[in-house]
Amino acid sequence: MAANAAAVTQWLGQQKAETQSLFWVTVTMLAYGLTMAWYRRSRAHPLMLPVVTGTGIVIALLLMTGTPYDRYFTAVHPLVFLIGPATVALAVPLYGQLARLKAIWWPVTVALAAGCITAIGSAVLIAWIFGGSGQTLVSLAPKSATMPIATSLAAHFGGLVPLAAAAVAITGIAGTMLSGPVLRWLLGPLDDTVHGFALGLSAHAIGTARAFQISDTAGAFAAMAMSLNGLATAILISVALSFY
């Protein structure tokens, strides 16, 4: 009897988890579809980015239902898993820019190194100044990498996966919204290659999605920057933490 009761309890738990997963995946996709329609009607206004407004809707629902973020993150794991294949698929448009990439490989390498070190160093330094624990520093260090890389690094080195995921999302949103105005203020009219590379490097997948709305060239270089920065971030953090 006890064994049967345990089996029933386990089955009910699985059914509940599957129901929650279906509910939150559906909510997330509906929020994205709705906010994408708003974004198009606003003529691509930066403040109406679906990742901003859609995230706001989901956060409001989480607060209204009293659902912890870690439970939501677990429930939408199928969507998180798809980030990996989607990221790999971005190599396709990059292949069309291969000839141009070969001609500018040196400035690209320098920009990648500077951007990666600055992204990691700034996050760690700011968190350290405000008294963040070692666990917090590890969680925030990969904030400019893609979600799968950042969360994997945080989990492997003892960081907080939900915090790492939140940092990645905030970085992507802020980078996408601010990159255009800041770069135009610093550099004037923007070349699509420069704009795309900066978006991918600083704002990972969210910035890359925005770059493809600018042009195929911007999207291709954003995809390259996102991929290379993810790899460089993983290597630098792994090497740095190997000494501790």
Give, for all 244 residues of the chain, the pLDDT tens digit: 544 444 444 544 454 556 778 888 888 999 988 988 888 888 777 677 787 788 889 889 989 988 888 888 888 888 877 776 776 776 676 666 777 777 778 888 898 899 889 989 888 999 899 988 888 898 888 888 888 788 888 888 888 888 888 888 888 888 888 777 777 787 777 788 888 888 888 888 888 888 887 888 888 888 888 888 888 888 898 888 877 6
Q: Which pLDDT does position 7 carry in this prediction?
A: 45
Q: Which pLDDT does position 30 carry in this prediction?
A: 92
Q: Which pLDDT does position 98 carry in this prediction?
A: 73
Q: Which pLDDT does position 17 carry in this prediction?
A: 56
The C-alpha atoms of residue 192 and residue 22 are separated, in whole angstroms, by 39
For the chain, the structural domain boundaries read 1-75, 77-244
Closest to 154 measured CA to CA, from 61, 70, 37:
70
How many residues make up the chain in this entry?
A: 244
Q: Which pLDDT does position 91 carry in this prediction?
A: 67
Q: Which pLDDT does position 129 carry in this prediction?
A: 92
| pTM for the predicted model, two decimal places | 0.70
